[in-house]
Amino acid sequence: MTTASLLSVATAVPPHVLRQGEVAKAAAAVYADRLPDFERLSAVYHSAGIERRHAVRPLEWYLEDRDWPDRTEAYCEGAGQLFIEAARGAIAKAGLEAEDIHTVVTISSTGISTPSLEARAAGELGLASHARRIPVFGLGCAGGAAGLAIAARLAMATPGAPVLVVAVEVCTLAFRMDKADKANLVATALFGDGAAACVLRAGGGGVATILGSGEHMWTGTLDIMGWQVDPQGFGVIFDRAIPPFARTNLPEAFASLLASCDWDGNPIDRVLCHPGGRKVIEAVEEALQLPTGQLDHERAILRDYGNMSAPTVLFVLARALSRGLPARTALMALGPGFTASCVLLGGP
């Protein structure tokens, strides 16, 4: 059976840098007098394992009242630029031209744009007029792994035709000054903006092979993660802690994921995961019985970029590729639903 090959991975971040200490000071000015127990909760700025993040707007922009039109304008502009930069990088690394791309899969859950982002970017990017477009909304943090799996299946359906997948998120648009609660505080301590793009094609070559993919969704878990929508924009939902859930439920689910990937039982050399936060990384290591500290790529990406939702696990993949991807790698991300998405990668 023809397998899909990963030809390239490229990443992009916006120009504004949010240093964690500066964000913590700004948050204190906004929340300290309005949020009970602020002093204790604000420890998240120091314990999250993040030093800096990138944003589509400077820090001062987020400290003013913003509504849907403001956030949508920032999303369309910022996400559009990130889309083009990441896509160009991936296409060039694959040795292709934009007009060679047969299908474009766009993964994004942090804004709404119609026409969708790939349509807005098509002219400047140089996509062919007959390129297929598949915008996907709602996958959240699982979107990087799930999008890679979708692109791999599409590549296998059209052997020889390059498929571009772009995961782009502007998570900082969820910073809310109007609501002083724990979920919003945590969002301002974790979220950053970025994009990652991959090119896949069936038929060999490239930097890795997609051996299989799978998903596992737990019922009755809609309250763990998601968006609530109101006149100001998206508001983050963190109604249940993810680390204890992962410790309890991930081991059995991971075994199920590998089975759905047609895993042949050979040892998994490396697990790469979406670094949702320092405690999430630690929970994954414990749940999967990995050596403490093994998820070093994840910690480095979290430190330098924060949680960018869907693109983050592809940043981890890019870092792993630059340092030599092991022969058998499981790429996994957790997201709303509550869902685990997994892609099994092999050598080229």
φ/ψ of 229, rounded to 5, equals -110, 130
Q: How far apart are CA 201 and CA 332, in angstroms?
A: 21
Residue the block writes with tokens 């051996």? 211
Residue the block writes with tokens 């910073």? 175
Q: Is 141 a catalytic residue?
A: yes
> How many CB atoms sit inside 10 A of residue 34's CB?
11
Q: How remote is the C-alpha of 249 from its chain's centroid? A: 21
Q: Name the DSSP class of 104.
A: E
Q: Tokens for 92?
A: 């060039």
Q: How far apart are CA 140 and CA 142, in angstroms?
A: 5
Alpha helices in the chain (DSSP H): 20-31, 38-41, 44-47, 59-62, 68-93, 117-125, 143-157, 182-190, 242-260, 278-287, 296-305, 312-322
Distance set, CA 189 to CA 43, 80, 200 (Å)? 10, 24, 34
- Which of these is catalytic: 141, 171, 198, 273? 141
How long a stretch of residues is the chain? Answer: 348
Residue 323: strand, helix, or coil: coil
Q: How far apart are CA 186 and CA 60, in angstroms?
A: 18
> How many CB atoms sit inside 10 A of residue 299's CB?
17
Q: Any idea which residues carry the catalytic annotation?
A: 141
